[in-house]
Amino acid sequence: IAHAAVRINPDVDAGTHQKISTGKSENKFGVDLYQARRWFARSLELDHVRLDGLHVHIGSQILDLEPFRQALARVAGFWHELSEAGHQLASIDVGGGLGVVYRGGHDHPVAAAEYVAVVREALAGFGGRIVLEPGRYLVAEAGILMTRVIRTKQGIDREFLIVDAAMNDLLRPSLYEAWHDIGRVESEAGENATRPAARYDIVGPVCESSDTFASDRELPRCVAGDLLVIRGTGAYGSSMGSTYNSRPLAAEVLVDAGRLAVVRRRQSFEEMVAGEQAATDWITP
């Protein structure tokens, strides 16, 4: 017998970017309570699958506890309803969504202990397994993307800082206008303070205007060869990377307590195209 959980759509606005909102009625994820009731009612007739879990996930990068409270209250109410109807649940997956600091001084994530308290309060008395999915919360701020300035370019009304990283390396800014703090790496302490400030659109070399990491961002004056650090790339960074524009995947380096190791070597052009072949074996349906 296969065990399965039903993902509930609680119709709760997570207060996050529309492209990472997953718990409103217009989102494609989960089913409403009416549909879920029908599924559990029919499940008693099935001998190959057992519905014994609930799941909810209302979105990502959530910086307020209230959406979690609302969603979990609806899940808890349904759990009690199912229990009274004779359905024994083995697990409730409360999803993820805990936000992190992408913009220093602006983003204020909720404390993990406060989030856990909300889960405990909503699911008090539940005797099964409670599953959490705090992926972004665990790894986002542990990763950075290092990129080198190729050149600067003065436009009519703005100055562009062109770097060797691109949207294929970090898609989030292009995909949902995500902010990432960006800084210039000093070659010696205090160097940045000696440079005048400048405002840049920080862009990659890919052939579309969406290849932009930041707009009108203030940095110390930069020149070709300078290193920049793009912060908060540990989640949805390399995992969303691609070889778009025939750009091989970047290397990944793990740093731990003063030591480092390459955990993914830089992809070569030959490796990138290794799976391609000429159309020699034609098939006629």
pLDDT tens-digit readout, 149-181: 999 999 999 999 999 999 999 999 999 999 999
Cα gap 183→227, rounded to integer Å:
9
pLDDT of 19 over the 90 cut: no
pLDDT tens-digit readout, 86-136: 999 999 999 999 999 999 999 999 999 999 999 999 999 999 999 999 999
Instruction: Catalogue the active-site residues.
Output: 207
Mean pLDDT of 236-254: 96
Q: Provide the whole-model pTM.
A: 0.92
pLDDT tens-digit readout, 27-57: 999 999 999 999 999 998 888 999 999 999 9
Which domains are seen in the chain, by residue range? Answer: 2-138 (3.20.20.10), 143-265 (2.40.37.10)
Please say whether the beta carbons of 235 and 139 come within 8 A: yes
The pLDDT value recorded for residue 152 is: 97
Supply 153's token pair. 């370019």
Cα gap 196→219, rounded to integer Å:
9
Give the residue among 173, 174, 178, 145 at the shortest CA–CA distance from 61.
178
Number of Cβ within a 10 Å radius of residue 30? 20
What does the DSSP assignment read for 108-171?
A: -PPPHHHHHHHHHHHTTT--SEEE---HHHHHGGG-EEEEEEEEEEE-SS-EEEEES--TTT--
Q: Where are the alpha helices (DSSP H) in 85-143?
A: 112-122, 135-139
The pLDDT value recorded for residue 109 is: 96
The pLDDT value recorded for residue 150 is: 98
**In the chain, pLDDT over 90 holds for what percent of residues?**
94
Please say whether the beta carbons of 216 and 201 come within 8 A: yes
Cα gap 32→258, rounded to integer Å:
50
Cα gap 261→259, rounded to integer Å:
7
